[in-house]
Structure 1
Amino acid sequence: MASKRTKKPKSSPQRKTKSFLLRWGILLGATLLLCTGGTTIGLGWHEYTRPGPLSVGQDVVVPHGGYASTASALQKAGVLRDGWWQATLFHLSIVLTRRNGQIHAAELHFPAGVSVQETLWILRHAKPVLHRLTIPEGLTASQISALIAEAPFLTGTMPPLREGTILPQTYSYLRDSSRQALVAQMQLSLRIALQKIWQARNPDEQTMQTPEELVILASLIEKETAGPEERPLIARVFLNRLAKGMRLQTDPTVIYAITDGQPPLGRPLTRSDLQTPSPYNTYLNPGLPPGPICAPGAQALEAAAHPAQSDALYFVANGTGGHSFASTLSGHNQNVAEFRKKR
């Protein structure tokens, strides 16, 4: 007996409609999700890369304490826009780019219009802001101490400073560095420079017996002239006088004795000033003074170590910013008379 095949029931129109609507709904939902996600990503990238609100470049102290404190400091400084959305974007940007490195707490410079993307690079890779302090040549210890005490962004009290123990130049330091550490850096700079200059000095010059005496001589040279070409000649005059047992008779030592190293004197020297009793007064005492009278610069130290070849024993201002040199007293007196005519 032949078997009978069972026929499949035909799908009803209602079922087809439901199936179509279901597939269409799934497709539409996926499309909307992709569009929404794409829009969100696009908006996020726009906020991440567009210029920020900072109108002028600024140094900002980025504190320790985590992402929230960093975002708060940057918003207060105007690097980031205000609002929780900007803070959230910043936090999320750090997390998504964490393989680029850790952010650092420091004082950093942010240029005008810096974006979130550029801000993160600065937080991760930029060097901290360096502050600078210039110590001019020829200042006394009291003057230098005042400069360091008043320098911004340093901490701690100013340590005692002996005369002629630092090298005048421009020094860099980080915010919140201690004054004691900066002074130590200045003193180390002098020791390093002095060691090189002393080792390379003219071997025929035997008048200076120690590096300390070289610094004393250099301090006199520094105070007598600001002309680089004259420094070796001034050095030679002093060395010639020392070799002959003559008193140096240099006015800056008298000024130092009168002011006790706290210039300026504020008036010309008088004849009575030259009789001021002090071991620093080279009109009264032979040889070098007992210590430096200022902080000599590298050029003055080099001049003391490499004096010019000359038999000069005297010098006087020539009225044009320099000096006239003479090897005899009569020649010196003539130079003095010429200077007085110009005055």
Structure 2
Amino acid sequence: MNNEPMRGRVLPRLLLLIVLLAVVGALFYGWNDFNRFSSAPLNVAAQGDSVDISRGSSFKDIVAELRQRKLSAASPLYWRLLAEQMHVAGKLHAGEYALAPGLTPRQLLANMAAGKVLQRDFTIVDGWTFNELRQALARAEKLRHDSAGLDDAAIMQKIGAGGEAPEGRFLPETYAYVKGDSDLDILKRAHGAMVRTLAALWPERAPDLPLATPYDALILASIVEKETGRADERAQIAGVFVRRLRDHMLLQTDPSVIYGMGASYAGNIHKSDLTTDTPYNTYTRAGLPPTPIALPGKPALEAALHPAPGDALYFVARGDGGHVFASSLEQHNRNVDCYQRKRCR
């Protein structure tokens, strides 16, 4: 019997089957490899790393940037397939994106599609002066420094507060920003936050305060802020100054004198400094200084508007961050001898 015709039919079918199996195997391997790629962590070097996608970048440009950064060695085809599967291929936003360890390609594309750009925080510290705030803004990373070269008056004009003295006008708080935001934007937000905070607190102030305006409260709060960092003392310190204002006594607060000394202050205050008159010397001039002397936080504002009751008119630093209060000059002088001159009796 001649088996040639049968063999001639079987061999092509066998070859076809082998080819089909090879194709199926390749597809199966490719699908598994694709799924592994989409869910495997990217090669992120360290916490805090990021990738910056320029405005106008195409999908091809984005993938090239990711590969150039060696975040993934996967084929561009895999990135395209993943983007098509997620329906985000034409919806990726420019910006800076965080690259945390464990981040997968799928998560990264989802963040880019949602425009979930990396946010940074800038904290204005309670008690900073406006000059210290400007210096800190100049050091902030990824922030556009539009205030560089502008004087204080020009900055206030730029943020819509022309004519205002800047000291004390910005609420100490943490403000989020993204790459490319302007330092003027942070200043505008901090100024608005202070305006709103004062507007909310002023109507709820204690009765019969010797403060004519919210700006007076801002000035007093700045003095309280510089006199103590202790939460349990702010209202007591405010109470001393409120009683001195009511009794038409000089405030005699060193931080205000130091502020008036400006660049000449070298870390120590001398008796001659207390007698040298400046608009901020509360040993030579009655009442509040003409402007705040720092940026007061909300707790200091609340203390200035709700001073603690009592009869203390004086206080002196103990040397441990706290203060000793006195209602008479005689007692105050004893406290000064004890805590500053170390001659307790």
TM-score of the pair, normalised by structure 2: 0.85
1:139 aligns with 2:128: yes
1:336 aligns with 2:326: no
Q: Percent identity?
A: 32
The one of 97, 101, 113 aligned to 1:112: 101
Do the aligned partners of residues 69 and 251 (structure 1) sit closer, same or farther apart at CA in structure 2, a change above 3 Å counting? same
Residue type matched to 2:42 in 1? G
TM-fit CA distance, 1:137? 1.4
1:80 aligns with 2:72: yes
CA contact (8 A) 2:80 2:89 kept: no
Do the aligned partners of residues 113 and 332 (structure 1) sit closer, same or farther apart at CA in structure 2, a change above 3 Å counting? closer
Q: How many residues align?
A: 326
CA contact (8 A) 1:108 1:127 kept: yes
Partner-residue secondary structure (3-state), 1:166? coil
1:179 aligns with 2:183: yes
Do the aligned partners of residues 297 and 39 (structure 1) sit closer, same or farther apart at CA in structure 2, a change above 3 Å counting? closer
- Which residue of the partner structure matches residue 309 of structure 1? 309
The one of 246, 251, 254 aligned to 2:249: 246
- Which residue of the partner structure matches residue 24 of structure 2? 34
Please give the alpha-carbon distance, in whole angstroms, between the structure 1 residues aligned to 2:105 and 2:318: 63
Mapping for residues 225-264 of structure 1, pairs under 5 Å? 225-259=228-262, 262=263
1:47 aligns with 2:37: yes
Single out whichever of 47-56 and 204-213 deviates more from structure 2. Answer: 47-56
Do the aligned partners of residues 86 and 224 (structure 1) sit closer, same or farther apart at CA in structure 2, a change above 3 Å counting? same
Mapping for residues 256-275 of structure 1, pairs under 5 Å? 256-259=259-262, 262=263, 265-275=265-275
Residue type matched to 2:203 in 1? Q
Please give the alpha-carbon distance, in whole angstroms, between the structure 1 residues aligned to 2:235 and 2:120: 34
Do the aligned partners of residues 308 and 25 (structure 1) sit closer, same or farther apart at CA in structure 2, a change above 3 Å counting? same
Please give the alpha-carbon distance, in whole angstroms, between the structure 1 residues aligned to 2:106 and 2:194: 44
Please give the alpha-carbon distance, in whole angstroms, between the structure 1 residues aligned to 2:41 and 2:140: 34
- Which residue of the partner structure matches residue 206 of structure 1? 209
1:284 aligns with 2:284: yes
Do the aligned partners of residues 314 and 32 (structure 1) sit closer, same or farther apart at CA in structure 2, a change above 3 Å counting? closer
- Which residue of the partner structure matches residue 7 of structure 1? none
CA contact (8 A) 2:259 2:293 kept: yes
1:216 aligns with 2:219: yes
Partner-residue secondary structure (3-state), 1:95? helix
- Which residue of the partner structure matches residue 5 of structure 1? none
Larger radius of gyration: 1
TM-fit CA distance, 1:206? 3.1
TM-fit CA distance, 1:179? 0.8
Partner-residue secondary structure (3-state), 1:128? coil
CA contact (8 A) 2:111 2:117 kept: no
Do the aligned partners of residues 252 and 14 (structure 1) sit closer, same or farther apart at CA in structure 2, a change above 3 Å counting? closer
Find runs of 4+ consecutive structure 1 residues off by over 6 angstroms. none
CA contact (8 A) 1:61 1:106 kept: yes
CA contact (8 A) 2:59 2:89 kept: no
TM-fit CA distance, 1:13? 6.6
TM-fit CA distance, 1:181? 0.5
